Amino acid sequence: MRYFIGNWKMFGVPKSINILNKINSFHSKDKNRKKYRVIITPPYTLIETFSNNFKKKKILIGSQNCYQKEQFSSDTAAISPFMIKSVGAKYTLIGHSDNRSEGDTNSMLKNKVQFALKNNLKIVFCIGENKSEKKNNRTLIVLKNQIRKVLEKKFNRNDIIIAYEPIWSIGTGKIPTLTELTKTIIYIKKVLKNIFKKKSPPVLYGGSVDETNIKIFKEIKEIDGFLIGGASKSSKKFIDIIKNYYR
């Protein structure tokens, strides 16, 4: 199974559902549709409408983050996994670099993972090195720490997806080389296999994925899918990514 996840970040109003309608009509007729899953993570404000509209369709809705407490609390503007689940989301991203840079620590991330899973949300756990870590050849050690400080073998592997997003690649148009990326993905899977009884959860790549460079990424069979930012805000680009992946 492959995954094409569109992370809208701070984008979208109710009428942006048109984008999902177009993706859905492509998906419902695509001969390859059984080979992949489409998940869109709109902002919190749109989760309920989008989930209701796509309840009977194959497109799944996720959240971009969740708070590190389970149900209700007195934290202003916080939204818990329980609340996200209650409006129909099936997935949540956790640990996106945008949120790590705003202060998400490993122990906060661990609570997020725990409470999201407890509330039957599947998680997309994001990891990635920054520019200086890459320059200093620290990529693999950084990734290993990000994984091992948060994920534990007691978590159900089947509810977890990992997204490798090098921070220097997000929104920059810069992408890793084929050799670099293959090595990194294989390493991430090795670390995960050590935690989860010899079987790795799916590992996705994210960072400047578009309808052109997808032809390069598809060469790496170890990549189980993509977490797409900018290009997921256009139905045409998002559909072209899927088309070009299976071409």
62 near ligand 13P, rule: CB under 6 A? no
Binding residues for ligand 13P restricted to 96-135, rule: CB under 6 A: 96
209 near ligand 13P, rule: CB under 6 A? yes
Considering the complex, what minimum distance in angstroms separates the CB of residue 198 from ligand 13P? 28
Q: Cα angle at 41 between 31 and 247, to 5 degrees?
A: 25
42 near ligand 13P, rule: CB under 6 A? no
227 near ligand 13P, rule: CB under 6 A? yes
230 near ligand 13P, rule: CB under 6 A? yes
Q: Could you give the string, one character per residue 177-206, with x where binding to ligand 13P holds by CB under 6 A and - elsewhere?
A: -----------------------------x
Three-state secondary-structure class, residue 162:
strand
207 near ligand 13P, rule: CB under 6 A? yes
Q: Is 17 exposed, middle or buried (0-12, 13-18, 19+ CB in 10 A)?
A: middle
Alpha helices in 30-151 (DSSP H): 44-53, 81-86, 97-100, 106-118, 131-135, 139-148
The span from the CA of 143 to the CA of 140, in Å, is 5
Q: Is the dihedral of CA 213, 233, 230, 228 positive or negative?
A: negative
Go through the chain and tell me how many residues it has: 247
166 near ligand 13P, rule: CB under 6 A? no
Q: Is 27 a catalytic residue?
A: no
Considering the complex, what minimum distance in angstroms separates the CB of residue 172 from ligand 13P? 7
65 near ligand 13P, rule: CB under 6 A? no
The span from the CA of 231 to the CA of 194, in Å, is 34
Which residues form the catalytic set? Answer: 96, 165
Which residues contribute to the site for ligand 13P (CB under 6 A)? 7, 96, 165, 170-171, 206-209, 227-231
